[in-house]
Chains A and B, each alone.
Chain A
């Protein structure tokens, strides 16, 4: 049972346009959400996070939006650059029991075309 879902295995956008990567979750105990970026032959690297007390967090070209009622978050990259081409993983953790552990989605492969 997937608690974190990234329903788009891949996304292709033109350089300079906006990339929107989506993530849905089912566990209402999750209250901290992270995005990781992974290049081929490298480990995931932390990109940006958001806690459930916020609905938006921005860091340069990257913005994460959280809609708690819909259990949905999205990562916006504006403007997209070819170097952003990578697999993006959504992850979640929460309070209570073993929810401090990170639960990952399957990832979305973003390709930014020059």
Chain B
């Protein structure tokens, strides 16, 4: 089955210790997104890649970076995690940036910052 895979499902890191979250897809979609979701909040878009073109949301902190080495993989790097960065991180894909494209989500990575 075509899918969006996120690893690890649970990640514990220490305050200030860099962490990388991974996302891969077998859908061959052009667009990959990273969302942050805190408890009882709406998923918040951090950034997305359309192919190799990176688009950062204006309010995404510099602490968050992303890499997309190929079509299938996309990484979220948090350079110096703070306690406020503890959240669920969701990766999603879509075929392209058309309005009428649904997004397909991975299961998420739950990040805990100690």
Residues of A participating in the B interface, judged by any CB pair closer than 8 Å: 2, 4, 9, 31-32, 34, 36, 41-46, 49, 51, 89, 93-95, 99-107
Interface residues of B in 62-114 (CB under 8 A from A): 90, 92, 97-108
Q: Number of B residues contacting the other chain (C-beta, 8 Å)?
A: 23
Name the B residues within 8 Å of A93 (CB-CB).
99-100
> How many Å lie between the Cα of A36 and that of B102 in the bound state?
10
Contact of A51 with B100 in the complex, beta carbons under 8 Å:
yes
Question: Of A9, A32, A101, A105, which contacts B42 at CB under 8 A?
Answer: A105
Contact of A100 with B90 in the complex, beta carbons under 8 Å:
no
Contact of A99 with B99 in the complex, beta carbons under 8 Å:
yes
Question: Of A9, A43, A94, which contacts B99 at CB under 8 A?
Answer: A94
> How many Å lie between the Cα of A50 and that of B104 in the bound state?
17
Name the B residues within 8 Å of A104 (CB-CB).
42-43
> How many Å lie between the Cα of A39 and that of B48 in the bound state?
24
Name the A residues within 8 Å of B40 (CB-CB).
9, 106-107
Known interface pairs A43-B4, A43-B105, A43-B106. Does A106 touch B42 (Cβ–Cβ under 8 Å)?
A: yes
Closest to A31 in B: B99
CB distance from A94 to the nearest CB of B (A): 6
Known interface pairs A43-B106, A44-B90, A45-B105. Does A89 touch B99 (Cβ–Cβ under 8 Å)?
A: no
19 contacts between A and B (CB under 8 A): A31-B99, A32-B99, A32-B100, A43-B92, A43-B106, A44-B90, A45-B105, A46-B103, A49-B102, A89-B42, A94-B99, A100-B101, A101-B45, A102-B45, A104-B42, A104-B43, A106-B42, A107-B40, A107-B42
